[in-house]
Amino acid sequence: MKKLYFLLFVLVFSSISAQQIQSPSKEITLEFSLSSLGEPTYQVRYKWKEVVKPSKLGISLKDDTALTTGFSILNKKETSVDDSWNPVLGEQSSIKNNYIQVSFHLLQKEANRKLDIIFKVYDEGVAFRYEFPAQDALSYFIVSEENTEFNLTGDHKTFWIPGDYDSQEYVYSETKLSEIDNSKLDLNNGIALKSIESNYRVQSPLMMKSNDGLYINIFEAAVVNYPVMHLNVDIESFKLSSQLVPDALGDKAYLRTPSVTPWRTIMVSDDARKVVSSKMILNLNEPNQLEDTSWIKPMKYVGIWWEMHVGKSTWDFAGSQNAQNAASKDLIPSGKHGATTENTKRYIDFAAKHGFDGVLVEGWNVGWEDWFGNWKEDVFDFTTPYPDFNIKEVADYAKAKGVKMIMHHETSGSVANYERHLDRAFDLMKEYDYPAVKTGYVGRIIPRGEYHDGQTMVNHFNFVAQRAADYKIMVNSHESVRPTGYSRTYPNYIAAEAARGNEFNAWSSGNDPKHETILPFTRLLGGAMDYTPGIFEIKMNIYDPTKTEQVHTTLAKQLALYVTMYSPLQMAADLPENYERYLDAFQFIKDVPLDWQESIYLEAEPGDYLTVVRKDKNSESWFLGSITDKNPRKTEIKLDFLSPNKKYKAIIYQDGKDADWKINPKSYSIKEQTVTSKSILKLNLAPGGGTAVSIVPAN
Ligand code: NOJ
Ligand code: CA
């Protein structure tokens, strides 16, 4: 902590007058008031323009009472913070945390219940949470709904995915608020779960743009012991309201005082780059809880993974028609099993040769014949390898080659089973020196009736990160709740999928070219994503001539994603043999670091394009990534972020002149040029294309 200005005013109020709180820059104003009925209400302005009209706050309880009305303000506390902290891994080595905080202590006279509402106003937006102080009148309680509203000012352009309690693996729809309608979605695109209860419900982060050019983002931070908040949309009045994800009983949250809700966040700016670069979500989480973080390291990895997604091999050893034999372990090998000792050694060799940190192996353990569909609660034990995967031989081989193995735990949603086995599973990882685990939660949750986004599962995902930390294990979760900054608190929770990843391009209608320009404004605000970029063989007909699927990208764009899609854990997802054919382009994946001193978002427009440049944490080198949607794009980038009077060698990996994601995705060219802080780079991105540049000090 560098500076901490601590102002404390304790004021006593009896009036209903509105209270204003301004951001440090004074650009954002939050106004809090109680209506004549004692209903807490807030509104938000940006540069004196209305962003959120008066909107109600409150919580409904299951015992039919509500913390929504009849309040008076007992007192108010104001603080301001201006400090910074250093993330273990991150987009920048130091994160500034600067806000004005006002806590309103409210009393509901009739019931003698106390509720605090805490506001933090940052330069990029506003955050607030409910706090339930310890009190006799409210000790144990069940939240039946949260009554937070976001009363928007117009029919904004919106990037949205449906309010599915079980999955975020959707493409974004880009429509006006008034056009949100889940019934109009084409869901025939590879999604198994459809826990969508309303046509007018979406998930957050919800990214919007108003007609007068304001970028507005609604999200939440520090979701701990509480369900995820989805948003109901009134398509006529443009009022959004919170919808907490229920548990199996239909309840929302079981709490005991003292306790808090997650932060509700509203970011706003007339500059999209301020939203996409904001660290507000991380700032709103509790500081790192781990004393020793020396074992938490970025990991670039390859793995036995894409070959299953493209159908070259299988996760199962015997083929699922043999499932009935799985219990007897009397399996007849299908001959297509990917996770063999021999194949794993091939990947380890490749990783060692090209300087990768890790190798992921999926399908190494017994259970895959019968994994899908949630019929067998104990389908995996996470400790029994298939007969053709010799875990000791693999571990010894990896060690000799200086490569780390990454464990895979697919739970198939059978979470109770996973928790029962967790310690043994982590023990096995320690025995064979696996520093990281990729977890997976495909399918419906067991205990049955729970949703991926409910309170129970939020607690599960956070618990796995905590327990993994006890073992010094890093976690990358797939199909988990989307992150809301918990990686600040448990920095071993280094990445998650929790959005529609590159895998969908292998076997579904895929992710259209604008997808990766939206994710940084939505999913990535809460933490790093394991998107699995780096696909060079873009059209799936290379594996089977009848296939029409493809990655919606050019080859150069796959390189740019290593920079635009921040993550300290990055996969080179394609097959080794595909990289061997394009070693010159592969060099960028080998060179790009995963941990940064500084990141500068140079250009950004959600749904259209993004250009970011980042400085390596451990050197003076810079790496630039620029991507576009289906439209070609020309742009000029000033390199004035480079140190003055210094020469650098820029290697530019760009789309070929005739490149096009659909017609000619693999056309690329690589050129080298000497640059200084005075240079301007002219970039030429193909439809669905991108550019990646490494800028290294010349010696
Ligand atoms: C879905 C995950 O996203 C993917 O990476 C994994 O290969 C499969 N589940 C199987 O676990
Ligand atoms: Ca997935």
pLDDT at 194: 76
| Same domain, residue pair 266 and 371 | no
Marked catalytic residue, from 124, 149, 307, 503: 503
Whether 12 and 110 map to the same domain: the answer is yes
Residues 362 and 445 in one domain: yes
Q: Are 103 and 82 in contact (CB under 8 A)?
A: no
Least confident of 198-202, 336-340, 373-377, 446-450: 373-377
Q: Rounded CA gap, 204 and 124, in Å? A: 17
Which ligand 1 atom is nearest residue 438's CA? Answer: 5
Residue 651 lies in a domain: no
How far away, in angstroms, is 515 Cα from ligand 1 center?
Answer: 19
Q: Is 89 in the pocket of ligand 1 (CB under 6 A)?
A: no
Q: Residue 377 Cα, ligand 2 centroid: separation in angstroms?
A: 20
- The model's pLDDT over 264-282, given as tens digits with 9 standing for 90+, comes to 999 999 999 999 999 999 9
Question: Which ligand 1 atom sits closest to the C-alpha of 497?
Answer: 3
Which atom belonging to ligand 1 lies closest to the Cα atom of 309?
Answer: 7
The CATH number of the domain holding residue 486 is: 3.20.20.70
Judge whether residue 189 has pLDDT over 90. no
Specify which residues 287 forms β-bridges with: none
**Residue 6: its pLDDT value, please?**
35
Is the same domain home to 338 and 277?
no
Q: Are residues 75 and 202 in the same domain?
A: yes
Ligand 1, atom 3: nearest CA belongs to which residue? Answer: 478
Same domain, 303 and 278: no
Instruction: Give the C-alpha distances (Å, rounded to integers) separating 121 from 22, 25, 280.
Output: 7, 10, 10
Q: Which residue type sits at 306? A: W
Concatenated DSSP letters for 109-140? TTTTEEEEEEEEEESSEEEEEEEE--BTTBSE
Q: Tens digit of pLDDT for each residue in 489-506?
A: 999 999 999 999 999 999
Number of domains making up the chain: 2
- The span from the CA of 62 to the CA of 253, in Å, is 10
Q: Is residue 619 part of a domain?
A: no
Of all protein residues, the one whose alpha carbon is nearest to atom 7 of ligand 1 is 305
Judge if 271 and 353 occupy the same domain. Answer: no
Structure tokens at 274: 């301020």
Are 321 and 199 within one domain? no
Beta bridge pairs of residue 101: 79, 120
pLDDT, tens only, 532-579: 999 999 999 999 999 999 999 999 999 999 999 999 999 999 999 999
**Is the pLDDT score of 225 beyond 60?**
yes
| pLDDT exceeds cutoff 80 at 192 | no
Does ligand 1 lie within 6 Å of residue 495's CB atom? no
| Residue 443: other Cβ atoms inside 10 A | 20
Distance between CA atoms of 226 and 239, rounded to whole angstroms?
A: 23
Categorize the per-residue pLDDT at 193 as very low, low, confident or very high, splitting at 50, 70 and 90.
low
211, with CB counted inside 10 A (0-12, 13-18, 19+), is: exposed
pTM listed for this prediction: 0.96
Pocket of ligand 1 contains residue 608 by CB under 6 Å = no
Specify the CATH number for the domain of residue 144: 2.70.98.10
How much distance in Å is there from the Cα of 194 to the middle of ligand 2? 14
For the Cβ of 169 lying below 6 angstroms from any atom of ligand 1, the answer is: no
| 362 C-beta closer than 6 A to ligand 1 | yes
Whether the CB of 503 sits within 6 Å of ligand 1: yes
Ligand 1, atom 11: nearest CA belongs to which residue?
A: 410
Q: In what order do the strands lie in the sheet with 19-22?
A: 19-22, 28-34, 40-46, 49-56, 149-152, 239-244, 229-233, 201-203
Going from the Cα of 668 to the center of ligand 2, the distance in angstroms, rounded, reads 29
Average pLDDT over every residue of 216-241: 98
Ligand 1 atom nearest the C-alpha of 315 is: 10
What pLDDT sits at residue 11? 36
Position with higher pLDDT, 8 vs 86: 86
Whether residue 503 lies in the annotated active site = yes
Expressed in angstroms and rounded, the spacing between residue 113 Cα and the centre of ligand 2 is 43
Of the candidates 228, 252, 283, which is a domain's last residue?
A: 283
pLDDT of residue 389: 98
For residues 100 and 21, give the distance between their C-alpha atoms in angstroms, rounded to a whole number. 7
User: Which residues lie across from 73 on neighbouring strands?
Assistant: 106
Confirm or reject: Cβ of 478 under 6 Å from ligand 1: yes
Do 212 and 352 share a domain, yes or no? no
The CA 409 to ligand 2 mean position distance, Å, reads 13
Which of 362, 365, 371 should be mutated for ligand 1, with most atoms under 8 A from CB?
A: 362
- pLDDT digit string (tens) for 296-307? 999 999 999 999
Token duo for residue 200: 């007018």
215 within 8 A of 269, measured Cβ to Cβ: yes
pLDDT per position as a tens digit, 285-296 = 999 999 999 999
Which residue range forms the structural domain that includes residue 55?
A: 2-283
Please give the share of the chain, as a percent, with pLDDT higher than 90: 92
Each residue's pLDDT tens digit, 406-465: 999 999 999 999 999 999 999 999 999 999 999 999 999 999 999 999 999 999 999 999
Average pLDDT, integer, range 135-161? 97
Strands, E assignment, 86-228: 95-108, 113-122, 125-132, 140-146, 149-152, 157-160, 173-176, 201-203, 206-209, 215-221
- How would residue 699 be classed by pLDDT, with cut points 50, 70 and 90? confident
- As a whole number of angstroms, the distance between CA 557 and CA 208 comes to 25
pLDDT band at 14; cut points 50, 70, 90? very low
**pLDDT value at residue 183:** 92
Atom number in ligand 1 closest to CA 308 = 7
Per-residue pLDDT at 190: 64
Residue having the nearest C-alpha atom to atom 8 of ligand 1: 440
How confident is the model at residue 682, as a pLDDT? 98
Q: Which two tokens stand for residue 524?
A: 């990535």
Q: What's the CA-to-centroid distance between 128 and ligand 2, angstroms?
A: 31
Domain boundary among 594, 621, 648: 594
Residue to probe by mutation, ligand 1, list 170, 320, 410, 412, most atoms within 8 Å of CB: 410
CA distance linking residue 536 with residue 505, whole number of Å: 12
Cα dist. 520→156, 273, 488, 587, 642 in Å?
19, 10, 18, 25, 24
* Ligand 1 lined by 629 (C-beta under 6 Å): no
Residue 672 inside a domain? The answer is: no
pLDDT above 50: residue 669? yes
Q: What is the CA radius of gyration of the chain?
A: 25
Question: Length of the chain, please?
Answer: 699
Within a domain: 273: yes
Is residue 474 in a domain?
yes
Tell me, yes or no, whether 246 and 146 share the same domain.
Answer: yes
Q: Is 497 in the pocket of ligand 1 (CB under 6 A)?
A: yes
> Residue 693 Cα, ligand 1 centroid: separation in angstroms?
30
* Mean pLDDT score, 158-174: 96
Residue 682 lies in a domain: no
Which of 564, 594, 624 is the endpoint of a domain? Answer: 594
Please count the CA atoms within 13 angstroms of the CA of 652 that sit on its side-chain side.
20
**Average pLDDT estimate for 391-419:** 98
DSSP 8-state class, residue 189 = T
* SS3 call for 55: strand
According to DSSP, residue 472 is labeled T
In a domain, 685, yes or no: no
| Shortest-distance ligand to the CA of residue 438 | 1
Mutate to test the pocket of ligand 1, among 312, 412, 503, 531 (most ligand atoms within 8 A of CB): 503
Residue 375: predicted pLDDT: 83
The mean per-residue pLDDT over the stretch 313-339 comes to 78
pLDDT bucket at 186, cuts 50 / 70 / 90 = confident
Confidence of residue 79 (pLDDT cuts 50, 70, 90): very high
Compute, in angstroms, the gap from residue 478 CA to the centroid of ligand 1.
7
Residue 147, Cα to own-chain centre: how many angstroms?
A: 25
Residue nearest to atom 6 of ligand 1 (CA): 440
Can you tell me which atom of ligand 1 is nearest the CA of 478?
3
320 with 268, same domain?
no
400 located within any domain? yes
CA distance 623 to 29: 37
Sign of the dihedral defined by the CA atoms of residues 353, 354, 357, 358, in that order: negative
> Greater confidence, 193 or 238?
238
Name the band, by pLDDT with cuts 50, 70 and 90, for residue 16: low
Peptide bond just before 162 cis, omega within 30 deg? no
Mean pLDDT of the chain: 95
Q: Which residues fall within 8 angstroms of residue 454, CB to CB, at 6 or more apart?
A: 165, 227, 228, 245, 246, 247, 248
537-560 per-residue burial string, b: 16 or more CB within 10 A, e: under 16 = bbebeebeeeeebbbbbbbbbbbb
C-alpha triplet 271, 276, 279: angle, nearest 5°: 115
Let me know whether 350 and 476 are in one domain: yes
Distance linking the first and last C-alpha atoms of the chain: 37
